[in-house]
Structure 1
């Protein structure tokens, strides 16, 4: 069992990013093969329920610090927004807007601010 985790011993966020992106991409492919519909509402729900949790799991602890890691994570959402056929030819910002999605960097920043507020207001006690 030790060999399985050996490549993650350096505690760099890149390892977690690559693992998360790999998992999210495999689930995205599975959903594309499973669901034949390509309407916006269905794919927005599928993305937020099944794909995004994999790229945001415990992100407050391993927050990607390099631009390359941030872009790698954002590419998952970028590809997922292209699945809906009506949105395929629009730019990324417009697709996110029509699908009611925010950029992952903004979600991470918002999560960090919420967590900081909880610490400051003592509503989230840590021993």
Structure 2
């Protein structure tokens, strides 16, 4: 199963990549939303995108709205992983089409728990 990690922080991408790889995901990385859209256009599509909010070029919220505007991408699960912790931003992202919202800092267990809730991981391996 493929995952796309979208974050302008190389360190954060590395942390998320390690967590996802440990539960069996093939991980692709993007440094901003525009680069992530280009990856989606090239395919193959990921099962999930983990998205930071604050990035140059294209932020995570704009990425979510762009993904949700393309019918071929409607089955991609979107999870915000960000420092944006205001209730209004959480509601805004979920209303735009994000499935889950994780606030940084987080633990590996928190990410895996969300993947389990989304039905993408079961007993520590991709479902």
Regarding TM over 0.5, the answer is no
Q: TM-score, normalised by structure 2?
A: 0.30
TM-score by length of 1: 0.30
Greater C-alpha radius of gyration: 1
Which structure shows the higher helix fraction?
1
